[in-house]
Amino acid sequence: MEEKPVAEKITIGHVHMSGCTGCLVSLADNYEGLFTLLDNYADLNYCLTLADVRDIPKMDVALVEGSVCINDHHSVEDIKKARENATIVVALGSCAAYGNITRFARGGQWNQPQHEAYVPIGDLINVDLHLPGCPPSKEAIRNVAVMAYLLLRGTDEQKELAAAYLKPLMDLAQRGNEACGCDLIYDVINQGICMGCGTCAAACPVRAITIEGGKPNVDRDLCIKCGACYAQCPRSFFNFDVMNQFEAISEAIDAAMGKGDE
């Protein structure tokens, strides 16, 4: 891989709201892939866990993890500042996108018993992309970072590919900020398009979904409202324009990440 001048890189920030840092760990879980990203495509210009930049700077892409406690005024200011300072805001992981486990928060714990109300970031600011998952998959974070680079710095052809790739994730952000295993009921089974493939059951991080009689059955007391099942379901979105090129796109991402034929 030829060395690129720093000026061509995009800037990425990691903004930590009420999250668990597991989303950041997922980014780091790309191992050498993260270094390739940082060497060639992006500067991490803000990330309290990893770097000593105190205030949210201007950035091309904000990877925001965690939801927002509306009883904590610093948090509310932070999310507004992230929107103001970022070209693209990504709700990284299910807390930012859908609230996830913080949906169940209700206050009453020391030493801030009044910290009781949490909302997904999309309830307070416009969000460009949802990247759900608890945790979000490392490969998806890598793909979004590479595609954001191509969108902002690529040739026209690369921009077109990146826009096509990112579109369903943008559509997810437009669709709303609520998620639950019930999405499979409302938007797949009730719509008459479930075909019993079992993807939802594999995607669920808490094994709340079993396939009974060819259809998903959701144990809603186990469900943590992460939205992975619906997002991963091939009948939530299935964009043929991108999917029909799966082989070429996988190869392009591998090439971008310096992975040849192994």
Partner 1 sequence: MVLGNYKNCVSARAADPAILSASQDGGIVTQLFAFALEEGIIDGAIVAGQGDEPYKPEPVVATTVAELMEARGTRYTICPNVSMIKEATRSYGLDKVGIVGTPCQIQAVRKAQLYPMGMRAVPDKIALAIGIFCMENFPYQGLETMVEDLCNVKMESAVKMDIGKGKFSVYTERGAVSQIPLKLTHKFEQGGCHVCLDYVANLADVSTGSVGSPDGWSTVFTRTKAGESIWGKAIEAGYFETKPIEDVKPGLDLVTKLATDKITKNQKTLDERASFGVGKGLRNPYI
Give the footprint of partner 1 on this chain (CB under 8 A).
Answer: 26, 29, 131-140, 143, 165, 168-169, 187, 191-199, 201-205, 211, 213-214, 226, 228-229, 231-240, 242-244, 246-247, 249-250
Using N-to-C axis directions, what is the helix angle for 32-40 and 138-153, rounded to 10°? 10
Tell the smallest beta-carbon distance from residue 222 to partner 1 (Å): 14
Candidates 55, 45, 50, 98; CA nearest to 78 is: 55
Tell the smallest beta-carbon distance from residue 78 to partner 1 (Å): 25
Tell the smallest beta-carbon distance from residue 156 to partner 1 (Å): 22
* E strand or H helix that includes residue 24: helix 22-28
214: region left, alpha or beta (phi > 0 left; psi from -120 to 50 alpha)? left
Closest to partner 1 by CB, 222 or 243: 243
Tell the smallest beta-carbon distance from residue 100 to partner 1 (Å): 12
Closest to partner 1 by CB, 117 or 201: 201
CA triple 91-93-97, angle to 5 deg: 45
| Residue 18, SS3 per DSSP | strand
Closest to partner 1 by CB, 112 or 244: 244
Closest to partner 1 by CB, 87 or 245: 245
Tell the smallest beta-carbon distance from residue 51 to partner 1 (Å): 25
Own/partner pairs, 48-57, CB within 8 angstroms, 24+ separation = 48/14, 48/16, 49/14, 49/16, 49/21, 49/24, 50/14, 50/24, 56/13, 56/15, 56/81, 56/82, 56/85, 57/11, 57/13, 57/85
Tell the smallest beta-carbon distance from residue 217 to partner 1 (Å): 11
Closest to partner 1 by CB, 5 or 260: 260
Query: What's the CA gap between 78 and 91, in Å, rounded?
Result: 14
Question: Given CA atoms 224, 230, 233, 238 in this order, what sign does their dihedral have?
Answer: negative
Closest to partner 1 by CB, 53 or 248: 248
